[in-house]
Amino acid sequence: MPKSTHKHKRAMTIIAQAASAFISRESTNQSLITLTRATPSKDGRSLTLFIGVLPENHERAALSFLARHKHDLFEHIKKTTSIDFIPRIEFVIDAGEKNRQRIDELVAEDTRKSKD
């Protein structure tokens, strides 16, 4: 792997960790917002942060909260990291994680039924 690619991936990881810490510190106790993964764009100018929200009915409020605090997040990343370029950050609900959780629920339910 070329050094620049490794450096870029490391920077994205550091940004995701800083974002996770910010979310943990700033979010209310009304819901649990968890950063599940981060995916940079091909050109590296933006970073999509996938989140999970519990309870699920608070997803819209969580996305709204994160949108309102984007500038504060940007300032937090600038202050707590040594990253030269901070990409544009977008938050989306991690549908893959929701699907995985649903599969786990179905498997557990099937296991309970087969024991009966």
In CATH, what number is assigned to the domain containing residue 72?
Answer: 3.30.300.20
Sheet holding 32-40, edge to edge: 32-40, 46-54, 88-93
Q: How far apart are CA 66 and CA 26, in angstroms?
A: 10
- The structure tokens listed for 109 are 């339910």
User: Which has more confidence, 21 or 96?
Assistant: 21
Domain count, the chain: 1
Beta pairing class for 46-54 and 32-40: antiparallel
| pLDDT at residue 16, as a whole number | 95
**pLDDT for 71-116, tens place per residue?**
999 999 999 999 989 999 999 999 876 666 667 777 777 777 777 6
Q: How far apart are CA 91 and CA 7, in angstroms?
A: 23
- The structure tokens listed for 68 are 């309102």
Answer whether 0.85 is exceeded by the pTM. Answer: no
| pLDDT at residue 71, as a whole number | 96
Give residue 99's domain range.
3-115
Average pLDDT over residues 32-51: 92
